[in-house]
Chains A and B, each alone.
Chain A
């Protein structure tokens, strides 16, 4: 710039991205190649999207410019269906929202109905309900522990996850008769009592699961490649996550210390139990995996605790044969494995609900994806999807 002749005609220049006005000759070398964005459709059939989720991703090279989830491929219209069912029939429907931990879906609905009726299930039923909820939590999150590693390329942990999960599913089947859709809750208690020998079996299985969690800690959490793939990927700041409605382990991994079992309205027998709520300050994918691993261990310890304290007694309160829930509204929310699940039941005194609003965890967890996926690489999209851990039935209801 030192030899500029003030009388010479101005050199033609163009405005280059970045703001500087560059002389044309240089500009031809400096302008970034403006390649068009590529639109990539992840799904609805795709191994990484856990079901029929479609992610329309706009890519610039390997970076995501914008991502939009398209949901509804599995929308079954549960809220409409509940208006045409009696209360006991709704538990069958509701099982299938989050199908990996089905028992846990029934609990808040039955709780809402019982609250409106003013009935309390007997203590033994409450304990067994809590045990089964924690077992379904283990079965759900244990699958996640293996399957997130699978999304990242490690083939083996997935099989370990499935193998040990079979033990838990066998336990649930022994009690309820169904591995995946137990349909075991009744308004006022449970359908049946525990089978003989179940408590001893469960203690053994819990010890096995605890060993399995140690395996995962070594194989996956301690693996440098896993850490390199997940640390600092997909960071959700705590307050932003809360305003999106992200809940459960996802929010706790961002440092927000909030667990409905301890902090919400008291439900089941959690007020009588001692357990630790795990949080992690980072909020990245690694944190979410780590928190869930600790929660699995905590769930095993909870089950062992409850088995020690299991009271005897009936498992069903006295309820009329035809269940008519008095007029009213009830909102019951529980800490489900995927997050917070709640039912807002509006009853008009009939045998079935007038309106049920089902608040499912994954719906809110997935709503943060457009914000979360900006600027990440394509492999990181998979990591983020895997770590948020949603179930399509939970999103689409």
Chain B
């Protein structure tokens, strides 16, 4: 394993190149895996149908084929659209996804950059997509797109707060905003003196976990919070004028962000790449860690998509009411309680 370390430590240029390539390959791959497993297969089975079966065994290559199909489509820009803004908007949405992966650790040494303000950075950067959405809606020169974009902006901004406040509880318990530190706190921690499974914050910060899941659902524009892309009303909302590879960007952005949020949730609440009571500095964890993280994030993604396929969608004002009148007070109460208990216990 030290040989692996030596190879990776060879010069910052190579390290950077490897990291960039890995992250850029990871997002589409993650989007593909999530899309296939949950959108194509899990949803289909829940709806008592099979889903795609033709492309590859059991339809594994369906999304790859869809991607190829999108790329070879004609690039249509509406005549009245603002061309530059129209082109840039999907890129901004995808960039914000890429940026989240900078801080998520997948092993003791497997992180692009181990920022001390990791959590703060991740949440700040995830809000960049709002700009992309607004740009897309406005530049499309389409009333439906505009409606969708405005709804999205209101919703995404409203649900940033519960997301943030839910994580504050975790930060208080872990004592640090550094994501590696949070992973360590969970792996080495104890619940009321018992260290058997460490201190996964999903148990001690149960309310925080629920809040995070609900807010993440809204941030991802998934039902029950998918007003911006209400299929039966606005037919893809702010994305309606996008075709071809621009739409592919949005699609990758949606599922890539789901991947990112699931990874964040797994890191913050389920213990990340660590297995409790296994030595964190062990070289093997560089290989096992990503797999563990993957398993945990698939579980979180399962919860996200399960809720997506089951519930109808909330109306915009009901959605805002849920955020402002319901989630934020609970989040604040959670923080107060966590603080008190942290000091008392």
Contacts and interface: CB of A to CB of B under 8 A. Distances in A.
12 contacts: A40-B147, A153-B224, A153-B230, A153-B231, A154-B223, A154-B310, A159-B47, A223-B312, A225-B224, A228-B315, A379-B233, A379-B315
Nearest to B146: A38
A151 B232 CA distance: 6
A47 B49 contact: no
Q: How large is the interface on B (under 10, 10 to 19, 20 to 34, 35 or more residues)?
A: 20 to 34
Interface of B: 43, 46-49, 143-144, 147, 223-224, 226-227, 230-233, 235, 309-318
Interface string A206-228: 00000000000001100101101
Contacts of B224: 153, 225
B314 A225 contact: yes
Contact of B232 (A38, A47, A163, A380): A47
B316 A229 contact: no
Interface string A227-261: 01100000000000000000000000000000000
Nearest to B151: A62
A93 interface: no
Contact of B223 (A47, A153, A219): A153
A149 B314 CA distance: 12
A152 B318 contact: no
Given A223-B311, A379-B315, A47 B43 contact: no
A382 B233 contact: yes
Contacts, number: 79
A46 interface: yes
Interface string A343-387: 000000000000000000000000000000000011110100000
Contacts of A62: 147, 316
A181 B232 CA distance: 28
A378 to B, nearest CB: 7
Contacts of B49: 159
B311 A377 contact: no
B229 to A, nearest CB: 10
Given A223-B312, A379-B316, A156 B47 contact: yes
A47 B235 contact: yes
A277 to B, nearest CB: 28
A156 B232 contact: no
Given A46-B235, A159-B48, A160-B48, A154 B312 contact: yes
Given A154-B310, A156-B309, A156-B310, A379 B47 contact: no
B311 A154 contact: yes
Interface in A82-96: none
Interface string A137-168: 00000000000011111111001100100000
B318 A228 contact: yes
Given A226-B312, A377-B315, A156 B223 contact: no
Given A159-B47, A379-B227, A228 B235 contact: no
A244 to B, nearest CB: 25
A48 interface: yes
Nearest to A224: B311
Nearest to B318: A228
A293 to B, nearest CB: 16
Contacts of B314: 225, 228-229
A58 to B, nearest CB: 12
A336 B183 CA distance: 63
B315 A229 contact: yes
Given A151-B232, A154-B223, A380 B315 contact: yes
A152 B143 contact: no
Given A153-B224, A156-B47, A160-B48, A382 B232 contact: yes
B232 A377 contact: no
Given A163-B48, A382-B232, A377 B317 contact: yes
Nearest to B47: A159
Nearest to A380: B315
Contacts of A223: 311-312
Nearest to A147: B232
